């Protein structure tokens, strides 16, 4: 059996952390940098609005749907091996962008990138967790990796706009090639190959994998359909029913399978269930609030898009700078209470926006800062708690489940806020500033987000206490 000597500081692990940070940078940068190019892509590829939605949406659906399966495979075949294979796939898919001449080809490329993201993103946090044997170093490493990713998320649109000023839109996806190469070299050099004794050899539950993937894909599709087609349409309801049926079949399969894809008993562990609930609360709150504030600033207050983008800066600044607060908070309060405090900040931020957002931008900025601060803490601490609550040979599936909880909750948060906004204010958004119904619609949507997040936080705290 190989003996792995754990690094005693972040500096000792710099090649590995460089590679893992590059992986997370790709995941955060990818969609944000591409969004600014959608009008150009639409013109050059003669793509409809629906087609352009699939250019970004197919990535999220494939990524979210395959994360648990990829995590389960990594815990069996090797986390480093699956990560490196995913990075090679990312590089190949990104290079294929140069050959794209039709919208369907770009959608296929984006789907392959979603597969690569599912193979790499959960592994970045799982490998960082396994790299160290001290919780303090694990938190600092995870904070560093997530900060790099959040910087990518923040600068993505600006970088994309600058690149489009002198280069074709394909260049935005080709940026992934050097990022993937840097990640490959760092992980290959800094992370040892998996010890066979640290993997488990259970057979992969193919039926469970298919049912689980179908459940997540349908769950991610349903919110988008509610926003696009409306609640009067049959399609989102059919998709929701199909998701419930697939989810029920998945649970029954996992309870009876000899080697389940996900051991449901492990999900009942207090640290795991609490962490997943808090991650879901953070995902739904952050996505829903960002969506509402963007509309509020532009259509409710009449701000130009550039000014509205500046109005989101409190969220961006806190997300990036807030990483410095995580380790001191854990030192003072401990892991569990730090996660609770972060989650309560999220609920308080939503409550501030719901109650006071209509009275001026200052309250909107306060809400953005509170939710961002809470999300920053929960993103690191709750995810770490999920992996702390699992056996050592299930860490990658744990990271995948935490990411999946956030991804699904993001879709639900967007759908909930968008659907309530459409119900209360059915008119054109361009008329929002002159209408007395728009502030009311924003308030009801904010209230729904607050109630949803508070319920998830309540579950997380109750499970954590047990």
What pLDDT digit, counting tens, does each position of 367-381 carry?
999 998 998 888 878
Tokens of residue 382, six digits:
């709750």
Place of tokens 């509402």: 292
**DSSP reduced 3-state for 229:** helix
Taking the CA atoms of 353, 359, 361 and 365 in sequence, report the sign of the dihedral they define. Answer: negative
Contact status, residue 85 vs residue 34, Cβ threshold 8 Å = no
Look up residue 8 and give its DSSP letter: S
Q: Residue 99's CB: how many other CB atoms inside 10 A?
A: 9
Under 8 Å CB-to-CB from 266, ≥6 apart: which residues?
272, 389, 390, 391, 394
Which pLDDT belongs to residue 375? 86
Which pLDDT belongs to residue 1? 42
Which pLDDT belongs to residue 50? 65
* pLDDT surpassing 60 at residue 3: no
Look up residue 101 and give its DSSP letter: -
* pLDDT surpassing 60 at residue 111: yes
Under 8 Å CB-to-CB from 199, ≥6 apart: which residues?
75, 76, 77, 78, 393
The DSSP string of 350-380 is: HHHHHHHGGG-HHHHHHHHHHHHHHHHHHHH
- Residue from 52, 35, 43, 49 nearest 161 by CA: 35
Give me the chain's average pLDDT, please.
83
Under 8 Å CB-to-CB from 104, ≥6 apart: which residues?
none
Distance from C-alpha of 414 to C-alpha of 409, rounded to nearest angstrom: 9
User: Cα-atom radius of gyration of the chain, to the nearest Å?
Assistant: 21
Among 156-160, 232-236, 273-277, 345-349, the least confident range:
156-160
- Residue from 241, 252, 237 nearest 419 by CA: 237
Which pLDDT belongs to residue 427? 64
* pLDDT surpassing 90 at residue 466: no
Look up residue 298 and give its DSSP letter: I
Q: Residue 161's CB: how many other CB atoms inside 10 A?
A: 12
Which pLDDT belongs to residue 431? 62
Region 148-152: mean pLDDT is 78
Under 8 Å CB-to-CB from 294, ≥6 apart: which residues?
308, 312
Q: Residue 8's CB: how many other CB atoms inside 10 A?
A: 12
- Residue from 16, 335, 314 nearest 192 by CA: 16
Chain segment 434-444, per-residue pLDDT in tens: 677 788 888 99
Distance from C-alpha of 34 to C-alpha of 140, rounded to nearest angstrom: 30
Which pLDDT belongs to residue 305? 67
The DSSP string of 54-78 is: HHHHHHHHHHHHHHHHHHHHHHHH-
Distance from C-alpha of 352 to C-alpha of 364, rounded to nearest angstrom: 8
Higher pLDDT, 245 or 54: 245
Share of residues in the chain with pLDDT > 70 (%):
93
**Region of residue 71 (phi > 0: left; psi between -120 and 50: alpha; otherwise: beta):** alpha
The C-alpha angle with vertex 220 and arms to 214 and 221, in degrees rounded to 5, equals 90
Contact status, residue 406 vs residue 320, Cβ threshold 8 Å = no
Under 8 Å CB-to-CB from 360, ≥6 apart: which residues?
none
* pLDDT surpassing 70 at residue 4: no
Among 91-100, 146-155, 203-212, the least confident range:
146-155
* pLDDT surpassing 60 at residue 2: no
Which pLDDT belongs to residue 28? 77
Q: Kindly report the pTM of this predicted structure.
A: 0.76
Tokens of residue 289, six digits:
């609030």
- Residue from 264, 225, 266 nearest 242 by CA: 225
Going by pLDDT thresholds of 50, 70 and 90, the confidence category of residue 348 is very high
CA 62 to chain CA centroid, nearest Å: 13
Region 40-66: mean pLDDT is 78
Contact status, residue 397 vs residue 68, Cβ threshold 8 Å = yes
């Amino acid at each position: 059996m190989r003996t792995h000597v754990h690094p005693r500081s972040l500096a000792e692990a710099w090649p590995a952390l460089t590679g893992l940070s590059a992986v997370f940078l790709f995941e955060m940068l990818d969609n944000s940098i591409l969004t600014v190019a959608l009008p150009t892509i639409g013109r050059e590829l003669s793509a409809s609005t629906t087609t352009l939605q699939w250019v970004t949406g197919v990535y999220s659906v494939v990524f979210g749907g395959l994360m648990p399966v990829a995590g389960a495979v990594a815990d069996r075949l090797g986390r480093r091996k699956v990560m490196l294979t995913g990075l090679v796939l990312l590089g190949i898919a990104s290079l294929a962008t140069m050959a794209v001449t039709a919208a369907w080809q770009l959608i296929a490329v984006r789907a392959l990138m979603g597969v690569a993201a599912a193979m790499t993103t959960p592994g970045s946090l799982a490998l960082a967790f396994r790299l160290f044997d001290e919780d303090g170093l694990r938190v600092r490493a995870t904070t560093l990796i997530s900060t790099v990713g959040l910087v990518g998320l923040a600068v993505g649109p600006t970088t994309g706009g600058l690149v489009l000023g002198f280069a074709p839109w394909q260049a935005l996806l080709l940026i992934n090639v050097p990022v993937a190469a840097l990640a490959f070299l760092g992980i290959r050099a800094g992370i040892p190959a998996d010890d066979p004794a640290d993997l488990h050899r259970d057979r992969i539950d193919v039926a469970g994998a298919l049912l689980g993937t179908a459940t997540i894909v349908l769950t991610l599709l349903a919110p988008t359909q509610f926003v696009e087609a409306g609640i009067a349409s049959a399609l989102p309801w059919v998709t929701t029913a199909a998701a419930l049926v697939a989810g029920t079949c998945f649970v029954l399969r996992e309870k009876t399978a000899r080697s389940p894809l996900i051991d449901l008993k492990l999900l009942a562990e207090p640290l795991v269930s609490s962490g997943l609930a808090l991650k879901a609360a953070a995902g739904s709150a952050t996505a829903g609030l960002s969506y509402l504030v963007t509309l509020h600033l532009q259509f409710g207050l009449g701000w130009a898009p550039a000014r509205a983008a500046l109005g989101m800066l409190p969220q961006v600044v806190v997300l990036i700078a807030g990483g410095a607060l995580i380790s001191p908070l854990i030192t003072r309060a401990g892991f569990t209470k730090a996660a609770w405090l972060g989650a309560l900040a999220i609920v308080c931020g939503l409550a501030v926006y719901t109650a006071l957002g209509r009275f001026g931008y200052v309250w909107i900025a306060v809400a953005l800062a509170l939710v961002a601060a809470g999300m920053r803490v929960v993103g690191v601490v709750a995810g770490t708690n999920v992996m702390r609550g699992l056996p050592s040979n299930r860490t990658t599936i744990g990271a995948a489940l935490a990411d999946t909880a956030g991804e699904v909750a993001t879709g639900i948060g967007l759908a909930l806020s968008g659907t309530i906004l459409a119900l209360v204010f059915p008119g054109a958004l361009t008329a929002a500033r002159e209408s007395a119904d728009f502030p009311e619609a924003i308030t009801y949507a904010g209230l729904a987000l607050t109630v949803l997040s508070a319920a998830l936080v309540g579950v997380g705290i109750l499970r954590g206490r047990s």
